[in-house]
């Protein structure tokens, strides 16, 4: 109750930045996926912080839905990654240039 909400927001912004940089910089598909999870968690933290600051539990309900969507996204994304790895050995996103003209 006593920590001001802006501190949490700053932490969430920094966490989102770290995730975004990782998504842009890394080449491994799995690590890029983990960076997406980092960004989702940063947004979750923001939701919870605003739920506390605005005295509205709807923010926490939003986090609940984000969790479910993240779980579904991970399942489908990892399925796609497994299907890609079954076809080719390359581990990096650079190897996936099938759509290049």
Under rule CB under 8 A, which residues in 33-72 are in contact with another protein? 33-35, 37-38, 41, 44-45, 48-49, 51-52, 54-61, 63-65, 67-72
Q: How far is the CB of 39 from another protein (least distance, A)?
A: 10
95 binds another protein (CB under 8 A): no
Cα 88 to the center of its chain, rounded Å: 26
Q: How far is the CB of 99 from another protein (least distance, A)?
A: 15
Backbone angles phi, psi at 28, to 5 degrees: -70, 130
Residue 84 and residue 37 in contact, taking contact as beta carbons nearer than 8 Å? no
């Amino acid at each position: 109750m006593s920590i001001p909400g802006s501190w949490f927001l700053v932490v969430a912004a920094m966490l989102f930045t770290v995730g975004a940089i990782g998504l842009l910089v890394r080449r491994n598909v799995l690590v890029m996926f983990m960076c997406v999870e980092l960004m989702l968690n940063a947004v979750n933290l923001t939701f919870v912080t605003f739920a506390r600051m605005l005295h509205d539990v709807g923010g926490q309900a939003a986090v609940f839905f984000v969790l479910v969507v993240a779980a579904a996204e991970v399942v489908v994304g990892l399925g796609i990654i497994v299907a890609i790895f079954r076809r080719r050995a390359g581990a990096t996103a650079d190897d996936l240039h099938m759509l290049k003209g």
